[in-house]
Chain A
Amino acid sequence: MIKALRKTGLIFFPAYDWEISPTHPERKERLLYTQDQVLEEGILDIDGIREFKAGLADEHDISRAHFCVPDVGSRITPSHNVSAGGCIEAARLVLEGVVDNAFALVRPPGHHAMRVVQGARGFCNINIEAVMVEWVRKHYPKIRKIAIVDTDCHHGDGTQDIYWHDPDVLYISIHQDGRTLYPGSGFPAEYGGPNAAGLTLNIPLPPRTSDEGILCAMENAVMPVLEDFKPDLVINSAGQDNHYTDPITNMSFSAGGYARLNEMLNPHICVLEGGYSIEGALPYVNTGIILALAGVDYSYIREPDYDADALRQDPRITDYISRLCEQIYGMWRSRSELKPERRPFVERSRNIYYDTDGISENQEEVFRYCDACPGTFRIDSSASTGYHILGVHIPHGACDACRDQGMSWFEKADHRYYAVYLQDMDRDIHTFRKC
């Protein structure tokens, strides 16, 4: 019998009774063939690999990461309680020491969901990794530094948004260049807020990047940065749409490449994100990832139509990625220089489009650029749905001045807003009041 090097927990939740719509990529059938492959390969009988039941994330769990408008219940379906709950369960298993690492193979996905949720974007309603991360910080305060490495083909703009100002959460995204793919963001110039400059790193890769290119980015950018950052917890947002068969992207990554990536990264937790080549990619990529997590030989895992020669990337792509990695790692090393000049408040305004629901939103953010703590901020959000709200975030480790400022914003919000929302991370108070 095969024995795993590391104890690996699998939370499999295919949500066979949930879909965005019958012909949507995010449909009931999505993980069916993955389940077939995992069962047929006998992965769950490998000594050390064990399947666990998903859990349920409640409104409070979700509110730690989001201002859901008008409320959590209106923005989610029970499937989101389970997929976020599945992630929490994966984290719990790892942090309680039941397993060494865990894979939340769940749907629906989450990495396009930002802090304010006026609707669904990129098939995501709530950010399941962020809900998990905030649950971890609440229940395991010793876990301070967290790294999220997002290897979905699409830029994880939601996760980037949620941790934009957070100096304890490093967010690195490897994805297909936003000039050629949804959501159109994720450039190196997006490197985090004033107090967390350099803690968001974007590595946009050209279309048709293959195993060689992605693994090069891992080796020359992601891994050296992680070595410096020394995170207490490493999470892989394991989207699988870099695969050469994916119908909505243009990359040339393989199942073997995904397995090698996870072997290098050796994350504590993997969370499934996108990936819509449900027959040609997911069964093999997921099998590869599980084996890599468990430390079992994955070298025989191969797609039926895999052809290394046909997928080989252009030498120009190889050169481009090498230079990009130098640039990213250089940015990281000199990240103190990225900090903007100090002033009391920093403002930014953005337009956000919720493609899945066809909603547009305007955001005005005011951030208190604090010396003593990560800094409180407020987001004024008005959406085409008619909801105009204010969200106030008082960060982990907030100083008294930031706490006072945050509470004052929360208390003074007037009838211009439909409601004002509060996230008080240290006190774990997540509430809202109608204005």
Chain B
Amino acid sequence: MILGIDIGGTHTDAVCLQGGTILSTIKTLTGEDLVGSILEAIKGLGISHDGIRRVVLSTTLSTNAIVEKKHAKTGIICSAGPGIDPGSFFFGEAFHHVHGAMDHRGREYIPIDRGEVLHAAQRMKESGCTGVGVVSKFSVRNAAHETAIASLVKDSFSHVCLGHTMSGSLNFPRRLNTTYFNAAVMPVQERFVASVTKALEHLGINAPLFFLKADGGTYASAAASRLPVETILSGPAASLMGAVALNSRPQGTVLVLDVGGTTTDIGILVDGIPLLEPTGVDIGGVRTLVRGLKVLSVGAGGDSCVSIEGDELLIGPGRSGPPACMGGSSPTPMDAFTVLGKYDGDARAASRILAPLAERMSLDISQFSSRIIADMVENIRQKASEFIEEVNSHPVYTIQEMLHPDLVQPDRVILIGGPAALLKPYIAEAFGLECEVPGQAMVANALGAALARTTAQITLHADTQIGKVTCPELNMEKKAPTSMDIEDLKTLGLNAIRDNAAMLGLSDRVEAQVIEEQSFNMIRGFSTVGRNMRVKIQTRPGILHEWRGQ
């Protein structure tokens, strides 16, 4: 049995499943104590605990710690050299910029100064920092400075994070942010893992624990303790992975609309795999290198407040309390559905709240109600179409991609969330696409968490002139023979991801695939002096095979 638990801001959903069958589901309110909420949900499932072999959590723990700044006091030591002043990127209080610089090929041209590093560490310690992030520009090409700085300061802090281990992507400012957040939430995550593990043991559950990541994959708790920053913004990942699981046909391009109370999240699945942000997700307006789903949030949902400004009808973006049809006092799309007889709410209350607005628009109440739904759906349609256009206008760097673009064009819509069933015919008509509302959509998030495969990505960079292969995510550096070609590098990478599965938090059958590869001959003067090669490898994301009985 697999247990999936999604601890959201308001609700905690849990699901227990075996093979392709959902055994039990529950929805409870999330309390102050997250561990308590988890236990309550598990107890509510009413299942026997001894057959559980996997527990997956999707939490807002790291996200909240970051957004609410409830984390350990953390400092940054960075070496950058010439370039944009790194001080202009950073927002934290304990920031130390020290000497040291690497160029784009990872060649050192300014060494670090031990004394300066030790002095910075001393000052951070005095200011009460318990964790520190160590970040160098181009550390994904050569991590020597980060490694040297870390070894000088590691004994002074309980948590030291190295920038290059966060992600293999180039982007020094994002590396700073990501490393800072990771170091900051490490203690929070560690404490959480310890208490959840203890509580589960108490219930007789000794199954391995996994966490859902922002990219819609999961990883084992040990990896989550090392890289907790990857759990930020796992909420949209849970619902989108739920849609993947509930999607009856994995092939094709699917637009997923998760319609909630006040927002609708728009995402895209291509052959059952969600689209990702090209560089990384933002949290609280800060950019990171955390791989995450590409999701657009539109301020329109079932409980959005309906108002009239001038002669314009507005739906949302805010909410002013529960809908009138549910005992509140706000005019909402749910009231419109009630008036139209599609939702079984308090029809008199709904009519009463909408009537004056209808009058101002010179419409009768049912015309007005239809208009509300139509406008809301049109707003979502328009945003979805802009979203698709944005995805398709992403720059490409080869003539091949320029002349033969791989454009995203959805062929159907999956609707999940509270008002999904009510909206279905309207969405189908407005989008001109087949529209599906899967059963069990109420616990889609928990199901998404339960079924998401463990995933990881690694980046390899080989420079045969310098004679080095680096893989930042694995903190690996190897010799590159002059004869090495792209096939050799791919093989090396595919083996490395399998050999390091445990460190990456992978537990399922590792289906590694090369997702990017580039190889350039390096010419100096008129002769070839080496090859510069880049490879990105990931394990295939998606849901566990057993769900579909494979």
Contacts and interface: CB of A to CB of B under 8 A. Distances in A.
A56 interface: yes
Given A16-B398, A23-B528, A29-B532, A2 B89 contact: yes
Nearest to A78: B399
B104 A300 contact: no
A187 interface: no
A304 B103 contact: yes
Interface in A15-56: 15-18, 22-23, 27-29, 32-33, 35-37, 39-45, 51-54, 56
B399 A42 contact: no
B399 A17 contact: yes
Contact of B397 (A16, A43, A78): A16
A5 to B, nearest CB: 14
Contact of B395 (A12, A45, A304): A12
Given A1-B89, A15-B399, A32-B520, A42 B104 contact: no
Contact of A40 (B85, B170, B518, B521): B170
Interface string B66-89: 000000000000000111110011
Most-contacted residue by chain B among A12, A18, A23, A54 (CB, 10 A): A23
Nearest to A305: B109
B interface: dominant SS: loop
B171 A2 contact: no
Contacts of B362: none
A302 interface: yes
A297 B83 CA distance: 10
A82 interface: yes
A283 interface: yes
Nearest to A46: B84
Contacts of A355: none
A143 to B, nearest CB: 25
A18 B173 contact: no
Contacts of B520: 16, 28-29, 32
A301 interface: yes
Contact of B399 (A27, A45, A51, A79): A79
Contacts of B523: 22-23, 27, 29
B395 A51 contact: yes
B174 interface: yes
Interface in A357-415: none
Interface in B127-182: 137-138, 169-174
Contacts of B194: none
B550 interface: no
A42 B521 contact: no
A291 interface: yes
A45 B398 CA distance: 22
A82 B402 contact: yes
Contact of A42 (B173, B403, B522): B173
Interface in B519-550: 520-523, 525-528, 532
Interface residues of A, number: 49
B84 A29 contact: no
Contacts of B174: 42, 45
Most-contacted residue by chain B among A12, A36, A82 (CB, 10 A): A36
A253 interface: no
A42 B84 contact: yes
B547 to A, nearest CB: 37
Contacts of A301: 82-84
A23 B518 contact: no
Interface string B241-280: 0000000000000000000000000000000000000010
Contacts of B89: 1-2, 42
A52 B138 contact: no
Interface in A35-88: 35-37, 39-45, 51-54, 56, 77-79, 82
Interface residues on B, range: 35 or more
Interface in A267-313: 279, 283, 287, 291, 296-297, 300-305
Interface string B470-513: 00000000000000000000000000000000000000000000
Nearest to A14: B397
A32 B532 contact: yes
A258 interface: no
Nearest to A247: B525
B10 interface: no
Nearest to B101: A304
A40 B138 contact: yes
Contacts of B27: none
A298 to B, nearest CB: 8
A435 B527 CA distance: 46
Contacts of A42: 84, 89, 171-174
B173 A45 contact: yes
A302 B137 CA distance: 14
A164 interface: no
A17 B174 CA distance: 29
Given A40-B171, A279-B104, A53 B393 contact: yes
A17 B109 contact: no
A23 B527 contact: yes
Given A29-B532, A53-B396, A82-B402, A291 B84 contact: yes
Most-contacted residue by chain A among B84, B105, B395 (CB, 10 A): B84
A28 B532 CA distance: 11
B395 A33 contact: no
Given A37-B104, A54-B395, A54-B402, A304 B170 contact: no
B532 A2 contact: no
Contacts of B279: 44-45
Contacts of A29: 520-523, 532
Contacts of A43: 84
Contacts of A287: 83
B270 to A, nearest CB: 19
A13 interface: yes
A56 B528 contact: no
Interface string A300-338: 111111000000000000000000000000000000000
A41 B399 contact: no
11 contacts: A15-B397, A16-B398, A17-B398, A22-B521, A22-B528, A53-B396, A279-B103, A283-B104, A300-B83, A300-B84, A304-B81
Q: Which 4 A-B pairs have the closest CB atoms?
A: A42-B173, A302-B82, A39-B170, A304-B109
Given A54-B402, A279-B103, A297-B84, 10 more contacts: A11-B395, A16-B520, A17-B400, A40-B137, A52-B393, A53-B396, A291-B84, A300-B82, A300-B83, A301-B83
